[in-house]
Structure 1
Amino acid sequence: MPLEAWLALLSASILISLSPGAGAATAMTFGLNHGIRGAAPAVAGLIAGYGTQLLIVAVGLGGLIATSPLLFQTIKWIGAGYLIWLGINLWRARGHLRLDRDTSGRKRQHFISAYLINITNPKGMVFLVALVPQFMDPALPKAPQLLVIAATLLFVDWSVMTGYSGLASHLSRWMQNPTALRWQNRVSGSALIIAGLVLSTATL
């Protein structure tokens, strides 16, 4: 891939990752409640979900989702419902959900939860279907180009999501009392609910 094409890809990757969405809301929620280290499994889950979507696009299934309204709608509502359910749980937790820096027994749970959030976002996959071909040169071998594109997208997204969780973790130090914690849960829950509602409006 020519350097100028890769720089354009890098710029697009940064803008994509920085844009508010389900991934950012998830990373910040885990950062607030579990700290940057505790959020690491969730960030890994987000990246694994993103990577799975890239793999699906690479093998051509993304095109099927982009042209199948029924499949798109099914995945969309599963993802939107899951985000809204997570948000409602945070609202209901009120002041009883404590900041918990010990996540040794729940790393897998956090990973799976975040993975499901990204893998059930069909709009992201359709976006990748539109984005990836823009940086492909038909005259060059396909596999190396896909590898560079995937590595760039995943590394940038991991960096940004880690940054989001770190920022949220830093803010959590100022939110240790029950009232602040209750509002923290409400803000985090609202962010997830809004992300779910936005996802539910996605169209092909």
Structure 2
Amino acid sequence: MSIAFLVTTLIVVATPGTGVVYTLAAGLSDGRRAGVVAAFGCTLGIVPHMTATITGVAALLHTSAVAFQTLKYLGVAYLAYMAWATLRDRDALVVERAEPRSGTRLVVSGVLINILNPKLTMFFFAFLPQFVSPGEPVTRMLGLSAVFMLATFVVFAVYGILAASMRSQVISRPRVMTWMRRVFAGSFAALGAKLALASR
């Protein structure tokens, strides 16, 4: 494994995107455990993209405009839903919940956020082969993918934990809570718009 791979992976993972926004929101609303669980869900959402790349399904998405557009707009629709739900739910960011969101719900939402992002498959399709020499076994690509997933989980978990540490300062203030809800909703909407305008 090269230093170049590790550096590139950390840069890609740390760059704010849908997963980061979701993990931050989970950490702020439900605390450290929720932030870590959300990070785990987003990491699991990488598995289908990794599998698609290794099995060659990514090549289909790369060559089939219909397949790519279908997955892309499913992702756009889900991000639009996340924006709408975050904006309308006045309990989206609270210090205490009567019924805290379950770990299953947090994981499923995190998985969906990453599954419905065709650009992630395109990233794997373009990124991993650069660090795999011709003739190397599939296990090499699996190993690199595992490192990428580990980095994703660790970085996202740190985001979630840092967000959770700010709960008392942020969430207990109604005005700040309102603006945070708007910021997260706007972020999901902006990321959805960016995905909608993305080309292969």
Normalization by structure 1: what TM-score?
Answer: 0.90
Structure 2 unpaired stretches of 5+: none
Residue 73 of structure 1 pairs with residue 55 of structure 2: no
Matched residue SS, 1:173? helix
Distance change (3 Å), C-alpha of 1:70 and 1:50: same
Structure 1 unpaired stretches of 5+: none
Given candidates 186, 194, 197, the residue that maps to 1:198 is 194
Cα deviation, residue 144, structure 1 = 2.2
Tell me if structure 1 keeps the 8 A contact 2:30–2:100.
no
Residue 136 of structure 1 pairs with residue 116 of structure 2: no
Residue 157 of structure 1 pairs with residue 152 of structure 2: yes
Given candidates 132, 141, 146, the residue that maps to 1:146 is 141
Given candidates 150, 167, 172, the residue that maps to 2:167 is 172
Matched residue SS, 2:169? coil
Tell me if structure 1 keeps the 8 A contact 2:38–2:107.
yes
Matched residue SS, 2:16? coil
Given candidates 83, 86, 93, the residue that maps to 2:89 is 93
Give % identity.
27
What are the Cα deviations for residues 173-194 of structure 1, in whole angstroms up to 9, with x where unaligned?
A: 2121222211221112111111
Distance in 1, matches of 2:168 and 2:192, equals 27
Normalization by structure 2: what TM-score?
Answer: 0.92
Cα deviation, residue 68, structure 1 = 0.9
Specify the alignment match of 1:29 in structure 2. 25
Q: How many residues are treated as equivalent by the alignment?
A: 199
Distance change (3 Å), C-alpha of 1:122 and 1:197: same
What are the Cα deviations for residues 109-149 of structure 1, in whole angstroms up to 9, with x where unaligned?
A: 11111100100100111111011110111133x22211221
Distance in 2, matches of 1:179 and 1:115, equals 31
Tell me if structure 1 keeps the 8 A contact 2:28–2:163.
yes
Residue 57 of structure 1 pairs with residue 53 of structure 2: yes
Cα deviation, residue 48, structure 1 = 0.6
